[in-house]
A and B are shown apart, each in its own frame.
Chain A
Amino acid sequence: MATATPAPKLNHIGLPVIEYRGGKSTLCAGCGHNAISERIIDAMFEMGVEPERVMKMSGIGCSSKSPAYFLNRAHAFNSVHGRMPSVSTGAILANHTMTMLGVSGDGDTASIGMGQFVHLLRRNLPMIYIIEDNGVYGLTKGQFSATADIGSKLKTGVINDLPAIDTCALAIQLGATFVGRSFSGDKKQLLSMLKAAIAHKGTVMLDVISPCVTFNDHEGSTKSYKFMQENDEPINEIGFVASFDDIEVDYDSGQVYDVEMHDGSSLRLRKLLEDYDPTDKANAVRTLMEAQEKDEILTGVFYIDTQKPTFIDLLDLVDEPLATLPESVVRPPKSALDALMTNLQ
């Protein structure tokens, strides 16, 4: 008897996972970025996001190449170095009905792109902003970036003597409304975090430690696989139940922190760090600063605010995309010009 190939698993909008894949990666084998691309594919698939309704944004660098490796069916914009935030801002204003996911790197964000990055955070622009953070410039062969930890060592033996910029602490302080850190090697945590990110409305800033196997995976690096496996300290365990998953969520108190997301999904953060409250901004920043002083690498969802208005809310835009409003809406009538002319006479 012939055995039929089992039908591929479909998500709740009826698509198989293959419809979420991208081109073949040209990054190094073992690069953390590839694992992140895989998690993005899984998260988008599991959340049943329509791929055509996603805009993939990036700047310049190894990380910024990665949008080519997932979601082929989504429009992509690989912009210029450090300028992903402004291009993303314009694009989401033109069509705020889209899901926007941007991939940047530590150099692209924390050095050349710092100016635009902080203003994106201030605006609480509705997008998922992922930093694929390896503490090093790959395409130019291994210089330190601004997220490299103090005392970290390059392959050449050079020691970093400047303090790291903690992009998570910065994001919390400046207005992002969903801030977390994960590790490309932690499949489960990263996937849950990404799914919750998709359900969130506002700026999601995820700093994902993503080791560079070529330039920063050696002894003495604080962004290596080994270092992360030994020093990754999750502050919470992330449980995410999507709105379409027919699962009853029982909201018990105590060691879990439950958050109801905009789309009806629920995010459950099981506290691993005692009494950590992810809605307490000042405490979140303090916790991160203290960890940095103690050379600890905290991961998890550090901060969440589901109430703060996004930039789109502040601008009070119409529901439909601005890009495709008809001429009758965007061009005022002749009578309008005539009245202006009369007034100028």
Chain B
Amino acid sequence: MATGDLALGQERGALSTNPRVINDFSIIVATVNGSGSQSANSVLLKSIFGMGVPVSGKNLFPSNIAGLPTWYTIRASKDGYVARKRGSQILVALNPETAKQDISELDAGGAAIYEESFNLKQYRDDVACYPVPFDKITAAICPEAKLRKLVRNMVYVGVVAQLLSLDLSVVESGLRKQFAKKQKVFDLNFGAVKAGFDYAQQNLTKQDPYFIERSNQTAGKIIIDGNAACGMGAVFAGVTVVAWYPITPSTSVIEATTDLLKKFRVTPEGKATFAVVQAEDELAAIGMVLGAGWAGARSMTATSGPGLSLMTEFSGLGYYAEIPGVIFDVQRTGPSTGMPTRTSQADLLFTAFLSHGDTKHIILLPGSVKECFELGYAAFDLAERLQTPIFVLTDLDLGMNNWMSDPFVYPQKPLDRGKVLTAEDLDRLGGFARYRDVDGDAIGWRTLPGTRHPKAAYFTRGSGHNDAAVYTEKPDEYVEVMERLLRKFEKARKLVPAPVVVKDGTSKIGFLAFGSTDFALRESLDQIKAGYGLDVDYMRIRAYPFAHEIHDFAASHERIYVVEQNRDAQLASLLKLDLPADQVVKLRSILHYNGLPIDAATITEEFATKEGL
């Protein structure tokens, strides 16, 4: 098959008077959910990636099974920007319900590819129109009527590939990867891609300026979503007991984890060295996590806001009884059910103090898929070292969308299973007190149930206890344990992942942010430099409690902009509780909380307004 010949060196229409725009534009694909457009979108994304062009994809989908409008945006960026960007230049309109609205929102000078019968040309004379008879093309190549709905989407991939000058062989190898080992499915889908490609070549005249040209910016990179990366982190941390309850947008963390456990953790005899339990609710899920953590297994759950609310009670127990466990929270908008398929960073403050009574939790905040993996496995070491639940907060944007990344690096250090006494240790020591600070690090030694020693047992309880784990209502004994817990939290400051200094120069202005806000903020800093000549500093926070570097950063800047995706300035609020009073006055907030991922222009505009630029 001479696919290369088809893709390259074609005769192009000369209607466009604009200069060519190479590797720098956004595509929006409008479909209905449940139509199987996901794999077509993914193939297109990976094809652009395969051309060596930095790319990111975002799925904007409804909380619904089938039939409601869904949009997928693909951003190609020669500058490597992967955040959401306002506006799109290329539209693929396949949903009759939204087609008129979709084309009206397209940038002037853009290109619209649509089902012929929609007749969208009447609405815009400032965009290039490419009507395509998708149904006819699909019917011709797919005799089986019930498969046509799925195959139809692949036709658009072919049309777009031809119009953008994508190399068909790149699309082919992407498809082959997607349908590995399913030759028939591959044949059908590639047939659809080719049919679309051929149709465009024979019937459409290029009138828009947008092209993909081969580059080498993605060599050695991978594409993965944050949830899969979290699952990978958990598996390479040796997770053994997984308990969960389905909830968007965290479900795929568990799916990824389970797939990998089945792949790597079954003995030659077919026995499992892991347990995955779909629990009856989130209360039970975290109960199982703590039960397993108490008995010595590495355990985890994954959830989102409403599930985290249900985990409140057990989170307090985990903190007070000092039981390891890892909770991934893929944040979506709240309060209450909120918008389940929209992103947010609004669980931070709630998680920090999750429980009644005096409670403080350790939170890790990955800012990329690579960190979903790295902080994912680090969470398990920290949980066992510090004997406490560790919360890993990501969000829907990071978790459910595809991101480019450097390949993940295998953990350098062996597992840290924390302070556990064996029967031999107990022989030597003659006994132990579970919650006694014998090492001056505020962390007691524990034993695991089943340790064969008469002095191994202790009584775990969420009620008041002294340092020997004995029930108490004595004021001084209660206070002693609570103060040690506070010292342990202080110790965590030094053990949690340090912040990333993205830039720390001589600017009086500093930015602080966490998580997926990073992508837009980095782009915004370039805009601020280009637009206003300001070279501002930026530190990305990766954990709570805040490391001392964050205090230093605050101290060394005059004005600090805290950028986050929630209404209530939650990171700024936590910082205000932590920083000395003279630093608190430096904080100002840039907030974004409409359910869409934050974009660079929003930050830049807000910053310029606040600075009076």
Q: Name the CB-closest residue of A to B458.
A: A75
| Contact residue among A52, A95, A116 (Cβ-Cβ distance under 8 Å from B284) | A116
Report 9 cross-chain contacts, Cβ distance below 8 Å, ordered by A residue: A90-B287, A90-B297, A116-B280, A317-B275, A318-B267, A319-B271, A337-B232, A341-B222, A341-B407
In whole angstroms, what is the CA distance A63 to B536 when docked?
62
Interface string of B254-273 (1 = CB under 8 A from A): 00000010001101001111
Is A89's CB under 8 angstroms from B236's CB?
Answer: no
> Closest 10 A-B residue pairs measured CB to CB?
A90-B291, A86-B287, A330-B238, A323-B296, A94-B295, A94-B297, A90-B288, A90-B292, A344-B222, A75-B449
Q: Check if B294 sits within 8 Å of A80, measured CB to CB.
A: no
Within the complex, the shortest CB–CB distance from B146 to chain A, in Å, comes to 30
Given known A-B contacts A340-B232, A344-B223, A90 and B414 have beta carbons under 8 A apart: no
Complex Cα gap A315–B276 (Å): 8
Q: Closest residue to A81 on the B side, CB-wise?
A: B313
The answer to whether A91 touches B457, judged by C-beta atoms less than 8 angstroms apart, is no
State the B residues within 8 Å of A (CB).
177, 220-224, 232, 235-241, 243, 260, 264-265, 267, 270-275, 277, 279-281, 283-299, 313-314, 317, 407-408, 410-411, 414-415, 447-454, 456-463, 471
- In-complex Cβ contact of B450 among A97, A115, A336, A345 (8 A): A97
The answer to the question of A53 belonging to the interface, with a C-beta cut-off of 8 Å to chain B, is: yes
Q: Chain B binding site: helix, strand, loop or mixed by DSSP?
A: loop
When distances are taken between beta carbons in the complex, the residues of chain B under 8 Å from A315 are 272, 275
Within 8 Å by CB of B272, from A73, A85, A317, lies A317
Which of A93, A98, A337, A343 is the most central at the interface, judged by chain B CB atoms within 10 Å of its CB? A93
> Which chain A residues border B238 with CB–CB below 8 Å?
327, 330-331
Number of interface residues of A (CB under 8 A): 58
Residues of B within 8 A of A80 (CB): 313-314, 317, 462
* B residues in contact with A98, CB < 8 Å: 295, 449-450
Instruction: Tell me the smallest distance from the CB of B243 to a CB of chain A, in Å.
Output: 7
Verify if A76 is at the interface (C-beta below 8 Å from B).
Answer: yes
List A residues 318-339 near B (Cβ within 8 Å).
318-319, 321-325, 327, 329-332, 334, 336-338
Whether A323 lies near B288 (C-beta < 8 A) is: no
Which of A68, A83, A322, A332 makes the CB contact (< 8 A) with B240? A322
Shortest distance between the CB of A113 and any CB in chain B (Å): 10
Q: Is the interface of A mostly helix, strand, loop or mixed?
A: helix
A287 within 8 A of B: no
**B408 near A337 (CB under 8 angstroms)?**
yes
Give the interface centre of A55, A316, A317, A344 by most chain B CB atoms within 10 Å: A344
A93 touches B460 (CB 8 A): no
Known: A78-B460, A86-B283, A98-B450. 10 other contacts (CB 8 A): A55-B449, A75-B458, A76-B460, A78-B463, A80-B313, A89-B277, A94-B241, A94-B292, A97-B450, A336-B264
B460 near A95: Cβ-Cβ < 8 Å: no
Shortest CB–CB separation between residue A97 and chain B, in angstroms? Answer: 7
Chain B residues with Cβ under 8 A from A345's Cβ? Answer: 220-222, 407
Beta-carbon contact of B265 and A53 below 8 Å: no
Beta-carbon contact of A317 and B271 below 8 Å? yes
Interface check A286, CB cutoff 8 A = no
Q: Which residues on B sit within 8 Å (CB–CB) of A79?
A: 287, 291, 317, 462
A77→B294 contact, CB < 8 A: yes
Q: Whole-angstrom distance from the CB of A135 to the nearest CB of chain B?
A: 24
Most buried by A among B274, B313, B415, B451: B274
Q: Which residues of A approach B to under 8 Å, CB–CB?
A: 19, 50-53, 55, 67-68, 72-80, 83, 85-95, 97-98, 115-116, 119, 315-319, 321-325, 327, 329-332, 334, 336-338, 340-341, 343-345
Please state if B456 and A77 are interface contacts (CB–CB under 8 Å).
no
When A52-B456, A332-B235 are in contact, do A119 and B298 touch as well, CB less than 8 Å?
no
Known contacts A75-B456, A80-B317, A315-B272; is-contact A88 B291 (Cβ 8 Å): yes
Docked complex Cα distance between A329 and B410 (Å): 16
Question: Is there an interface contact between A316 and B459, defined as CB atoms closer than 8 Å?
Answer: no
Residues of A within 8 A of B458 (CB): 75-76
Given A55-B295, A91-B294, A97-B450, CB of A332 within 8 Å of CB of B264: yes
CB pair B273–A325 under 8 Å, yes or no, is yes
A341 to B224, CA, bound (A): 10
Residues of A within 8 A of B294 (CB): 77, 87, 90-91, 94
Known contacts A78-B459, A80-B313, A97-B450; is A87 also within 8 Å of B273 by CB?
A: no
CB pair B299–A94 under 8 Å, yes or no, is yes
Given A52-B452, A83-B314, decide whether A91 and B272 contact each other with a Cβ distance below 8 A: no
Asked if A330 and B240 sit within 8 Å, CB to CB, the answer is yes
CA A332 to CA B240, docked complex, whole Å: 12
Give bound CA distance, A43 to B440, whole Å: 42
Residues of A within 8 A of B272 (CB): 315-318
- Report how far A218 CA is from B197 CA in the complex, Å: 87
A174 to chain B, nearest CB (A): 12
Residue among B313, B453, B457 with max Cβ neighbours from chain A (10 Å)? B457
Q: Name which of A50, A87, A116 has the most chain B CB atoms within 10 A of its CB.
A: A87
Contact for B295 among A91, A316, A319, CB less than 8 A? A91
Most buried by B among A318, A321, A340, A343: A340
Nearest neighbor of A119 in chain B, beta-carbon distance: B280
Q: How far is the CB of B240 from chain A (nearest CB, A)?
A: 5
Q: A78-B460, A324-B296, A334-B410 are in contact. Are A93 and B288 (CB under 8 A)?
A: yes
Complex CA–CA separation, A94 to B314 (angstroms): 18
CA separation between A324 and B292, bound complex, in Å?
11
**Residues of A with C-beta under 8 A to B270:** 316
A78: chain B residues within 8 A (beta carbon): 459-463
- Cα A78 to Cα B317 in complex, Å, equals 10
Give the CA-CA distance A97 to B458 in the complex, in Å. 19
Q: How far is the CA of A74 from the CA of B453 in the complex (A)?
A: 10
A90 engages B293 (CB within 8 Å): yes
Contact B295 A95 (CB under 8 A): yes
In whole angstroms, what is the CA distance A317 to B224 when docked? 30
B295 close to A115 (CB less than 8 A): no
- Within 8 Å CB of A116, what residues of B? 280, 283-284, 287
Chain B residue, CB-CB nearest to A77: B460
Q: Are A76 and B457 in contact (CB under 8 A)?
A: yes
In the bound complex, what is the Cα–Cα distance between A113 and B239 (angstroms)?
28
Closest to A84 in B: B287
Shortest C-beta distance, A15 to chain B (Å), equals 10
Residues in B with CB closer than 8 Å to A119 are 279-280, 284
Q: Are A90 and B317 in contact (CB under 8 A)?
A: no
Partner of A331, one of B241, B317, B415, B454: B415
Residues of B contacting A74 in the complex (Cβ-Cβ under 8 angstroms): 449, 457
Which residues of chain B have C-beta atoms less than 8 A from A72's C-beta? 457
Give the residue among A50, A90, A330 with the most B Cβ atoms within 10 A.
Answer: A90
Contact A322 B241 (CB under 8 A): yes
A255 to B611, CA, bound (A): 92
* Residues on the A chain within 8 Å of B220, using CB: 345
Interface contact B450-A93, CB-CB below 8 Å: no
